[in-house]
């Protein structure tokens, strides 16, 4: 898969939408002036002001146009966009992601229909069918699972409703089943988590992995990135325990309680999202451990987890930024105007460690 990763600043003449707005994801959503919103069009500089990072496609990155995809040009401002969220909004990642979509739709004066699948895949399929029935002209989907999308893809294609996927990848064909995929580089997140764990443990000892939920690319890629990096850089660090916490705090706590029973000498825990990492902290506290007894590295960048670094309970957090609103609507806007859009738009994330956690806490979500 052609991956496009942002490294370069804003490009002068946007040809492909991902070049149209180079910005860095930050805690602030853009403070747009009324006239921008009323104009309904976002200039690249406005998106840049929004603090949203855009992947700049490398030359030759695969692209898509409305002619290639099949569909009618339309003015996004007069359209209805349907947004399908996957997990219940107990997880700050989901809260921030949904809010980013809502904020951007409001800024652009676009009618938005939303649905939340409450972490049930069958409900997400019916949610999307429902959004189509309600007249969505375009769909933004944050998929729960990577597989099982055919019924929705067929229904959307039959109505010529373009789909942009954010966050997790679906196993389907770009520029045929969906227009663009916008997300983080999850393998890279796993690698960077390994680097933090190696540094914290000196590259020696036994560590555990709290795996994310099964059935999606985030879990497989964050696991692969971590394990490959450990094998490459610290063969003395051994992964002796792997169990899913389903990306949930409660399950993360339960699994960690089992872990410290079975592996009392565990030196580090790699939690594949902050919610499970915070569950691990609760388990360690419950077992009478002190902050720093076990090195915990997590992924997301939620406020509670970054505060956990300040408090000494968490060693490091790799950011997985959920604020896809500006980028998703940039993509839809350009696509519906007939411009080329990148098929894979991969954003670059930050990271938190004791050296910057307090200073950068405002960027967390």
Find the binding residues for ligand GZL in span 252-291 (CB under 6 A): 273, 275
CA distance 133 to 264: 54
Residues in the chain: 365
- Contacting range for ligand GZL; rule: CB under 6 A; set: 23-31, 87-95, 152-160, 196-204: 87-95
Q: Residue 202 is encoded by which pair of tokens?
A: 């000196």
Q: Residue 165 is encoded by which pair of tokens?
A: 């996927």
CB 209 within 8 A of CB 295: no
CB 346 within 8 A of CB 4: yes
Q: Does 219 bind ligand GZL (CB under 6 A)?
A: no
Q: Does 103 bind ligand GZL (CB under 6 A)?
A: no
Of 87, 127, 295, 333, which lies in the binding site for ligand GZL, with binding defined by CB under 6 A?
A: 87
Residue 178: phi and psi, rounded to 5, are -145, 160
Of 85, 223, 320, 331, which lies in the binding site for ligand GZL, with binding defined by CB under 6 A?
A: 320
CA distance 281 to 23: 34
Of 16, 138, 209, 218, which lies in the binding site for ligand GZL, with binding defined by CB under 6 A?
A: 218
In the bound complex, what is the minimum distance in angstroms from residue 313's beta carbon to ligand GZL?
18
Q: Residue 81 is encoded by which pair of tokens?
A: 């966009």
Q: Does 349 bind ligand GZL (CB under 6 A)?
A: no
* Beta carbons within 10 angstroms of residue 13's beta carbon: 7
CB 222 within 8 A of CB 242: no
Find the binding residues for ligand GZL in span 20-79 (CB under 6 A): none
Q: Does 344 bind ligand GZL (CB under 6 A)?
A: no
Total of residues contacting ligand GZL (CB under 6 A): 13
Q: Does 343 bind ligand GZL (CB under 6 A)?
A: no
- Contacting range for ligand GZL; rule: CB under 6 A; set: 85-93, 98-106, 156-164, 233-241: 85-93
* Beta carbons within 10 angstroms of residue 286's beta carbon: 12
Write out the residues near ligand GZL by the rule CB under 6 A: 87, 91, 93, 167-168, 184, 218, 247, 273, 275, 299-300, 320
């Amino acid at each position: 898969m052609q991956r496009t990763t942002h490294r370069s600043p804003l490009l002068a003449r946007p040809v492909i939408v991902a070049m149209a707005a180079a910005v860095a994801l930050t805690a602030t959503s853009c403070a747009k002036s009324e006239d921008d919103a009323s104009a309904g069009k976002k200039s690249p500089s406005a998106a840049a002001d929004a603090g949203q990072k855009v992947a700049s496609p490398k030359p030759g990155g695969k692209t898509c146009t409305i002619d290639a995809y099949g569909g009618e040009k339309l003015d996004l401002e007069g359209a209805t966009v349907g947004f399908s969220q996957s997990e219940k909004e107990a997880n700050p990642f989901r809260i921030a992601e949904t809010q980013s979509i809502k904020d951007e739709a409001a800024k652009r004066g676009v009618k938005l229909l939303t649905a939340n699948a409450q972490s049930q895949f069958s409900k997400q399929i019916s949610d999307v069918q429902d959004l189509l029935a309600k007249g969505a002209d375009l769909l933004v989907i944050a998929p729960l699972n990577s597989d099982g999308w055919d019924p929705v893809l067929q229904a959307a294609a039959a109505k010529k409703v373009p789909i942009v996927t954010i966050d997790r990848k679906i196993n389907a064909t770009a520029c045929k089943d969906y227009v663009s995929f916008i997300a983080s580089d999850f393998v890279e997140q796993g690698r960077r988590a390994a680097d933090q764990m190696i540094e914290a443990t000196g590259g020696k000892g036994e560590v555990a992995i709290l795996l994310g939920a099964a059935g999606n690319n985030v879990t497989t890629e964050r696991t692969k990135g971590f394990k490959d990096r450990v094998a490459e850089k610290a063969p003395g660090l051994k992964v002796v325990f792997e169990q899913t916490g389903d990306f949930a705090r409660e399950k993360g706590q339960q699994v960690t309680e089992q872990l410290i029973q079975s592996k009392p000498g565990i030196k580090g825990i790699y939690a594949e999202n902050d919610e499970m990492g915070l569950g691990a902290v609760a388990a360690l506290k419950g077992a009478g451990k002190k902050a720093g007894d076990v090195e915990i590295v997590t992924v997301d960048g939620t406020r509670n987890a970054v505060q956990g670094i300040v408090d000494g309970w968490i060693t490091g957090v790799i950011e997985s930024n959920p604020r896809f609103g500006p980028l998703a609507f940039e993509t839809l806007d350009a696509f519906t105007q007939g411009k080329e859009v990148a098929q894979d738009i991969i954003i670059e994330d930050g990271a938190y460690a004791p050296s910057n956690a307090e200073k950068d806490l405002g960027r967390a979500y």
